[in-house]
Amino acid sequence: MAPEINQLQRSNRKTIAILVDGEGKVIVRAPHRVPMELIWDFVKSKQEWIEERKRAAKARAKTPRHQFVEGEQFLVLGRQVPLLLVPATKGLRFDGGHFLLGEHLPGSETRLFEQIYKKIARAHFTERLGSLSAQFGYHVGQFRLSSARTRWGSCSTRGTISLTWRLVMAPPDVIDYVILHELAHLKFHDHSNNFWGEVKRMMPNYAEKRTWLKVHGQQLTLK
C-alpha cells in the first residue's frame, strides 16, 4: 500500500519529485502530462524513504524547544555542552567546554548560537575535509558551509562539497562519514554499488554512522 499523497502539484517540470514537509505531509510535484498511474508507481517505489522522512518529522515535533536557560545542554561534536549565563559580558562565546551567554537582545539567542555553531563547523569541517581528502587521494574543488535543513551534505559536478553547519552537533565519526560520503561522489555521481563500495573502502563501518543519522538526526537542531 502506497503512502497517502496529501498534495499534488503539477507544473512544467520534467521529473517527479516528492517532499515530506515538517508536519509529515507528502507533497508530490509532477509534470502536467504524467498520468496518475506513473505517479503512484513512483510514490510506491519511494515508500521506505517517505516513511523514514515522516518518522523524522514526527520526532522533530516531539523535540523540546531550547529555552536558553542556565545549565541547559547543547550538542557540539556529539557532546552535551552546558550553557552558563554571564551577565557581565555581551553576546555568546564558546570556550570549548561551555557556552557563555551574556547580555543580548531578547529573542536573539537562536541567531547567536547559529553564528557560533557556524564558526565551530567551518573550522572542524575544513580540517577534516583536508585530512580525509589527502588520506584517500581526493581533490576537493571548493568547500561551502550551508544552512540546509534536509541534507547533511552535497557534492556538485564541479567538485564543490557543501556541508550543513547543523552537522557539527553530531559525533566526529558521524561527521567523517558524511564527508567521506561526499568525497565518494567526486568519483561516483550516484548511489550505485560502486559508490557504496568506495564509501566502505574508506570507512568499513559506515553503515553504523548512517543509521545513527537516521535515528538521531532530528536532534541536530536549534529548534
The pLDDT tens digits for 5-25 are 899 999 999 899 998 887 788
The pLDDT tens digits for 170-198 are 999 999 999 999 999 999 999 999 999 99
Phi, psi values for residue 85, rounded to 5°: -95, 125
pLDDT the model gives residue 4: 84
Phi, psi values for residue 32, rounded to 5°: -55, -45
Is there a contact between 17 and 28 (Cβ–Cβ < 8 Å)? yes
Tell me the domain boundaries of the chain: 7-62, 73-219
Give the CATH number of domain 73-219. 3.30.2010.10
**Whether residue 161 has pLDDT greater than 70:** yes
Q: Which amino acid is at 131?
A: S
Q: Alpha-carbon distance 95 to 78, whole Å? A: 16
Is there a contact between 119 and 165 (Cβ–Cβ < 8 Å)? no
Q: Alpha-carbon distance 115 to 118, whole Å? A: 5
The pLDDT tens digits for 72-130 are 999 999 999 999 999 888 999 999 999 999 998 888 999 999 999 999 999 999 999 99
